[in-house]
Amino acid sequence: ATGFDAMTGALVSVDIEGRDGVTLKQKWADGPTTYLGLTSVGFPNLFTVTGPGSPSVLSNMMVSIEQHVDWITDTLVDLREQGYAVIEPTQTAESGWVQHVNDCADITLYPTANSWYMGANVPGKPRVFLPYVGGVDGYRQACDEVVEAGYLGFELRGDGKVQRNDGVIRRLQPDVAMVLEMMAEMELPPMDSMSAEEARAFSEATNAQRPPGPDVGEIVDGTLPGADGDLRYRLYRPPTPGPHPVVAYFHGGGWVLGSHDSDDPFCRDLCVRADAVIVSVDYRHAPEARFPAAAEDGFAALQWIAEHPQELGGIPGALAVAGWSAGANVAAVAAQKARDAAAPHISAQVLVNPVTDSDFSRPSYEENGEGYMLTRDLMAWFWDHYADPADRTDPRAAPLRNPDLSGLPPALVVTCEFDPLRDEGQAYAEALDAAGVQVRHLPGRGLIHTSITAVDMIISATDLRAEIGSELGRMVREGVAVS
């Protein structure tokens, strides 16, 4: 493979001219853009058999050619029967497919190789990954679903009528989709059908199978005083010379599951990326200790950590709170309580997929309430274990309900596109901003509730983890208290 212009050369060498006199070669000057590897915006009724963005050279070519020809002929017959004479993809659909093709490639080593799959064998050719590496079966399923959804992503024209069915056929990150498919095949009982003890055992067994995360400088287990007895903690020190900023971290698990070491891979990741000491604190769990036990323990732990920075290897005054899911709820409440008490000083708060409200009426609960691990029913199960209905609007349970959010520390709020909690996390970021708090909302495209903490499992979340860690490190250092 040292001379031929694979996948695009034969197409752009033909003088194919689309709308407004633009040639295919001109449109693809910075790399090919297609929908399903079959069609391209601006070129109505043009079909590219085994074109860029389809499995093509990564598959049995004869079979893939046959599948494309079958799809094209079936489409032409269908459109004629419906009275349409023109088919063209929408820009949204094409951009979404290009993104999906790149997402599939980015979790592999293909883009790192100097190969003809990247156009590297042709001088001056743009370096983009050309074929679709998401699998032939998955590709065929996508093509079929486009038709079943009424030609999703296409505009059809003919006989004085227009049908425009805009949309994106694949929005989930490919590794997230693979995990969800695997989980569905296992036919596991839903966690909300279990008792609290059964759910804890299931969660612990699941966690035992995960990769460990990056190495850190040192890990120390200990106890600290909570609001009603000692709490376990796990301390992570970076491999770099100290002292370091300190982060009080609270684990996820719906106030029912988890412990000081249940988010171990993510805490390791944060420790290394933020170059900060992470103190992951356990807190009392429901239903044995219902609301406001978790909130009280969170603030008590934060106070103790603030009083012992040097003992922990930390920089006095450089303290942040962070958490994931229900732990982010505990962290947000701790930040509010610290503001109300005028101590301790908190430099930053990092809230990953936070529970900020008890309202299930937001669109993300409707859109993502089933099929993405954290379900609407499971969140209801968590709330039922944690708090009575009358308590669920208390700001210590639903920090978004606090009427005064001013004066809180700078915040990074992270949400995921396919998370039931997405909208309440975004609402909290918007409310903080409206209250004059410095805040950044970081959305996770194509990710689900558990993606960010799945270190070395969900590769598509790696860049987001890196950004979370670097932002945490920056914020906690910039917000050091001046004594």
Tens of pLDDT, residue by residue over 168-209, are: 999 999 999 999 999 999 999 999 999 999 999 999 999 998
Q: Determine the pLDDT at residue 297.
A: 98
CA 403 from chain centre, in angstroms, equals: 29
Type and span of the H or E element at 440: strand 439-448
Q: Which one has a higher pLDDT value, 479 or 16?
A: 16
Beta-strand (E) ranges in 218-276?
218-226, 229-237, 244-250
pLDDT at 482 over 60: no
- For 25-33, the CB contacts below 8 A with 24+ separation are 29/126, 30/126, 31/119, 31/126, 31/128, 32/7, 32/8, 32/128, 32/130, 33/94, 33/95, 33/98
Angstrom distance (rounded) from CA 32 to CA 128: 8
Nearest one of 409, 392, 410 to 401, comparing CA atoms: 392
Residue 82 is predicted with a pLDDT of 95
171 CB-contact burial (10 Å; exposed 0-12 / middle 13-18 / buried 19+): middle
- The whole-number pLDDT of residue 124 equals 87
Superfamily (CATH) of domain 8-169? FAD/NAD(P)-binding domain (3.50.50.60)
Domain 178-479 sits in which CATH superfamily?
Alpha/Beta hydrolase fold, catalytic domain (3.40.50.1820)
DSSP 8-state assignment for residue 389: G
Q: Does the pLDDT of residue 2 top 80, yes or no?
A: no
Q: Phi first, then psi: what are they for 349, rounded to 5°?
A: -130, 130
Structure confidence at residue 138 (pLDDT)? 95
Of 100, 251, 285, 449, the catalytic one is 449
The catalytic residue among 325, 347, 364, 460 is: 325
Task: Supply the pLDDT for residue 355.
Answer: 98
pLDDT greater than 90 at residue 480: no
Look at residue 3 and tell me whether its pLDDT is greater than 80: no
pLDDT(21) > 90: yes
- For residue 441, the cross-strand partners are 413
Q: What is the pLDDT, as a whole number, of residue 5?
A: 86
419 given a catalytic annotation: yes
Q: Is the pLDDT of residue 321 over 80?
A: yes
What average pLDDT score do residues 227-235 get? 98
Asked whether the domain spanning 178-479 has the same topology as the one spanning 8-169, the reply is no
Residue 2 vs residue 431, higher pLDDT: 431
Q: What is the pLDDT of residues 244-275, one digit of tens each?
A: 999 999 999 999 999 999 999 999 999 999 99
Is the pLDDT reported for residue 212 higher than 90? yes
Check residue 310 and give its pLDDT: 94
Catalytic residue among 275, 419, 423, 460: 419
Nearest to 165, CA basis, from 88, 236, 69: 88
Give the mean model confidence (pLDDT) for residues 121-135.
92
Q: How far apart are the first and last CA of the chain?
A: 66
Residue 66 has pLDDT above 90, yes or no: yes
Give per-residue pLDDT as tens, 181-192.
Answer: 999 999 999 999
Catalytic residue status for 325? yes
Q: What is the pLDDT of residues 331-389, one digit of tens each?
A: 999 999 999 999 999 999 999 999 999 999 999 999 999 999 999 999 999 999 999 99
Domain ranges of the chain: 8-169, 178-479
Mean of per-residue pLDDT scores for the chain = 96
Tell which residue, 79, 84, 6, 89, has the closest CA to residue 46. Answer: 89
Average pLDDT over residues 39-66: 96
How large is the average pLDDT for residues 396-405?
Answer: 98
Q: Percentage of residues in the chain with pLDDT exceeding 90?
A: 94
Residues 6+ apart with CB under 8 A from 113: none
Position 1 pLDDT exceeds 60: no
pLDDT > 70 in the chain, percent: 99
Mean pLDDT for the stretch of residues 96-107: 97
